[in-house]
Amino acid sequence: MSIELTLFGEICLTRRWGRIGSRGQRMAHTFTTEREAVALFLNLLCQKRKRGYRPTGLPARDPSFTVDCESRLRSPFADAAPDFD
């Protein structure tokens, strides 16, 4: 997943998945504010972590990589998302 700026100035959260060696698939979500994109990013991150997915390149129990998934799933657009405006 990545958050990028489009050519039209919109904030875009892009999700990519697929088998290694294939073209794979992608889904793009556009937002007017980066705050909304970050909130969805964190919500999707928590959903994946609950299913057992872990980031590559980090040890399985790296204490520096923590997200409060319980509160994030209850309120995905909570004020906990950083404000970059």
Give me the DSSP letters along 6-60.
-TTS-EEEEEEE--TTS--EEEEEEESSHHHHHHHHHHHHHHHHHTT---TTS-T
60 inside domain: no
pLDDT band at 12 (very low <50, low <70, confident <90, very high): very high
Confidence (pTM): 0.62
Can you name the residues that pair with 3 across neighbouring β-strands? Answer: 13
Q: Count of domains in the chain? A: 1
pLDDT recorded at residue 38: 94
What is the span of the domain harbouring residue 46?
2-55+69-74
CA angle 16-74-15, nearest 5°? 5
Token reading at 48: 């994946």
Residue range 30-72, pLDDT digits in tens: 999 999 999 999 999 999 888 888 777 656 555 555 666 766 5
Give the position of tokens 């657009």. Answer: 77
